[in-house]
């Protein structure tokens, strides 16, 4: 079944929660009960930890960039080098791409076979990943430009805008993805 990813209620850039039309297709499991489930400490906790690392890594980059925007431009080269912003940002982007690659080519196809009723929910997550990939690519380009020469306040500002966009996408996507997939991990360990 197809889902219109351009509809406001479906776009990761505009939706405020999982679309109401998808809720009846989800596996029953209350989010507040997840940590009490006997299988929670397996793949469910593992995936949630990965997601928290992505969110926290981006938040650290955003905070570092905010701090740098308040600095003198002449101080930026040494501050960037000491902060390890560039390698940490590259690592975050690589980690995010790798994680979504595993989901797209490993887990999601298996979940679709096990739970055909989740087809539209998984299509929504796939659409999120496409938007996320574009945002990650933009952040990576900004990191490359920042590392190509003397860093400027404009370069910091550009990367900051990408980091804030990633924050929005990661927060919405990860919350919705967990509502869809964590109950599967709780059923199957």
- Whether 176 contacts 16, CB under 8 Å: no
Position 63 in a domain = yes
- The answer to pTM > 0.95 is no
* 22 part of a folded domain: no
**Does residue 30 sit within a domain?**
no
Asked, for residue 4, whether it belongs to a domain, the answer is no
Residue 1: band (very low, low, confident or very high) from pLDDT cuts 50, 70, 90: low
Work out the percent of the chain whose per-residue pLDDT is above 90: 72
Residue 21 lies in a domain: no
Measured CA to CA, the distance from residue 127 to residue 175 in angstroms comes to 15
Domain that holds residue 142: 36-188
- For residues 134-161, one letter each, b for 16 or more C-beta atoms within 10 angstroms of the residue's C-beta and e for the rest, the string is ebbebbbebbeebeeeebeeebbebbbe
Residues 43-81 have pLDDT tens digits of: 999 999 999 999 999 999 999 999 999 989 888 888 888
Looking up residue 115, the CATH number of its domain turns out to be: 1.20.120
How many structural domains is the chain composed of? 1
Instruction: Encode pLDDT of 141-150 as tens digits.
Output: 999 988 887 7
Interatomic CA distance for residues 44 and 6, integer angstroms = 30
Please name which of 153, 175, 169 lies closest in space to residue 68, comparing C-alpha atoms: 153
> Is 111 a member of any domain?
yes
Task: Confirm whether 114 is domain-assigned.
Answer: yes
The pLDDT value recorded for residue 128 is 95
């Amino acid at each position: 079944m197809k889902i219109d990813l351009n509809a406001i209620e479906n776009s990761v850039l505009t939706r405020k929660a999982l679309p109401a039309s998808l809720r009846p297709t989800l596996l029953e499991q209350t989010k507040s009960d997840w940590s009490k489930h006997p299988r929670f400490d397996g793949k469910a906790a593992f995936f949630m930890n990965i997601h928290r690392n992505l969110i926290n890594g981006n938040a650290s980059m955003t905070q570092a960039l905010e701090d740098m925007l308040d600095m003198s431009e002449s101080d930026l080269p040494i501050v960037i080098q000491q902060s390890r912003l560039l390698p940490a940002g590259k690592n975050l982007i690589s980690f995010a791409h790798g994680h979504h690659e595993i989901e797209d080519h490993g887990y999601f196809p298996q979940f679709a076979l096990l739970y055909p009723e989740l087809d539209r929910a998984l299509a929504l997550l796939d659409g999120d990943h496409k938007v996320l990939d574009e945002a990650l690519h933009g952040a990576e380009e900004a990191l490359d430009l920042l590392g190509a020469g003397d860093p400027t306040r404009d370069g910091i500002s550009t990367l900051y805008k990408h980091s804030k966009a990633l924050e929005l996408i990661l927060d919405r996507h990860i919350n919705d993805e967990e509502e869809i997939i964590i109950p599967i991990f709780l059923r199957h360990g």
